[in-house]
Structure formats: structure tokens, C-alpha cells
Amino acid sequence: MSEILEKESVWLGGLRKPVRTAAIVFTGIAVLVWAWLVLNLLISDDAYGMHEMIRPQGKPIVYLMLGSALLSIVFTSIYLSDFIGAIEDKPEGFFDILSLITSRMAMIMIGLIVIVMFYEVVSRYVFSRPTLWANELSLWIAGVVFLFAGQYAMQQRSHIRIYVIYDVMPRWAQKTADCISVGLIVGFTFALVWGGYADAKTRLLRMETFGTAWDPPIPGTMKAAILFIICLVAVQAVSNLIADWNKAPEHHTDEMDEQEIENIRKTLED
């Protein structure tokens, strides 16, 4: 862990320490409020549970819980985005940094899914008290993770690409192909937003719910999230095109990257 914390800053610079402090503070507040809510469930009949987490009106403690948890995720994601892995591309602009931040959010959310499902398994099979919300909360979080993953894949140029013809093209033809592919992405995004904006706005304003016992507003939030994040993917594609325009052509093979081999070797040794 100490080696990770001593790595050179990618983009935060002198702000790294304040951001880390903010992440710790908001995480601590979220944990304390969560512990208080859990304790209340054990000693009070009027305690707030998961039903109130998506219906916080008139409940300041729920707003505090949700706000601190959200800020904890945001600041932790910003802090973690200041470190990049050996096989990650370095950010070259604002939108690259934004994609790194959202990718770290996705990482944290995957951990939250694991915690939620672990809670459900223990509650169901140890205490014979299955929850009404674990499965739906996992689906809700996983939907956001899936969307953020697409944005991160675009930033890292790790989406599916076929290089058999691309690699033998002259550079001017490669640039033309890149412009066409980005144009198709932007066109698809425009069509999706044009056709789905009104419906997404209606669902979001009325917070359309799932129609189950817990009844979370999954349809109301996810439709808007799809349109918003697909716009981020399109902007990232344009950013990639600009950043790669004057770069030398790359040649791709099926051989494993040497750095990747070294990382696998270190993992096995540990």
C-alpha cells in the first residue's frame, strides 16, 4: 500500500492530499451514520430502513447518509484516478481524466455489489430473513457500472477493433477510417438522444419506479443515465480522435504484451 501512495501524481498534484482527506472524512461520516441507522433498527420500531433510503423526504438523517456516501464515492474516485496501472494509457486531457474518475467509480460500485449480495446471502441462509431490496439494488448499481465501463473502454482504446485491414492502410486512410467510425458514434448518439430525450425526461421527472415491493426508481434514473453517459462516450471518442491524429501508426499483433506477462508473473509469485 505504501508503494501505491508514493507513486507520482498523474493529474492532481498538490490537491492529492486534500482530496484524500475529504474521501476519508466523508467515508467516516457515511459509516457512522450507517452504524447509527443499523443500531436504531435493533432498538426502535420506527427506525429507517432501505425503504426510506429511496424515499428520503422529510428525513434529514437519510439525506445525510445518502449525501455523505455519494461524496465519499466521488472523492475516493477522484483520488484513485490520480494513479494509473501499468497497462493503462495516461490521460491526455480533461475528458480522459473524467473517464478515469468514472472508471474508479465503477470499481467502487463493483465492491458495493459484492457487499450487498454477501449481506443477502447471510441474511437469507443464516438468519432466514431474505431482503426485498438486495437483488434490485445490485441490478441498479450494475447498470451504472456497465455504462461507465463503456466510457472507460473508449478512453483506453480497448473496445473491439478489427486491425487486419486497418494495419495495412496508409496513415491517411487510417485517419479517414477513424473519422468515419467517430462520425458513426456521434451520429448514433445524436439519434439516441433525439429519440429518447422526451421519454427519459418524463420518466426522470416522475421518478418512474420498478413496481416491486421495494419499488426503486430504476426506470426513471437509468433511461436518463443511458443518454447522459452515451454522450460522454461520444465526446471521449472525439477526444481520442484529436489526441491520436498526429501519432505514429501502431501495428497490432496477437502476441501478449511484455508488461502484461510481467504483471501476471508478479501476481503468481505473490
Q: What is the pLDDT of residues 208-267, one digit of tens each?
A: 999 999 999 999 999 999 999 999 999 999 999 999 999 887 776 666 666 667 767 776
What would the DSSP string read from start to end of the chain? -HHHHTSPPSS-GGGHHHHHHHHHHHHHHHHHHHHHHHHHHHH-TT---HHHHT--TT-HHHHHHHHHHHHHHHHHHHHHTT---TTSPPP-SHHHHHHHHHHHHHHHHHHHHHHHHHHHHHHHHTSS---SSHHHHHHHHHHHHHHHHHHHHHHTT-S---HHHHTTS-HHHHHHHHHHHHHHHHHHHHHHHHHHHHHHHHHHHTT----SSS---HHHHHHHHHHHHHHHHHHHHHHHHHHHTTSPPP---SSPPHHHHHHHHHHHH-
Q: Among 155-159, 194-198, 253-257, which stretch is predicted with the lowest mean pLDDT?
A: 253-257
Q: What is the pLDDT of residues 19-45, one digit of tens each?
A: 999 999 999 999 999 999 989 888 887
Does the pLDDT value for residue 66 go beyond 50?
Answer: yes
Percent of the chain residues topping a pLDDT of 70:
93
Does the pLDDT value for residue 124 go beyond 80?
Answer: yes
pLDDT at residue 270 in the model: 63
Average pLDDT of the chain is: 90
pLDDT at residue 188 in the model: 97
For the chain, the structural domain boundaries read 1-83, 93-254
Q: What is the pLDDT of residues 89-116, one digit of tens each?
A: 889 889 999 999 999 999 999 999 999 9
pLDDT band at 120 (very low <50, low <70, confident <90, very high): very high
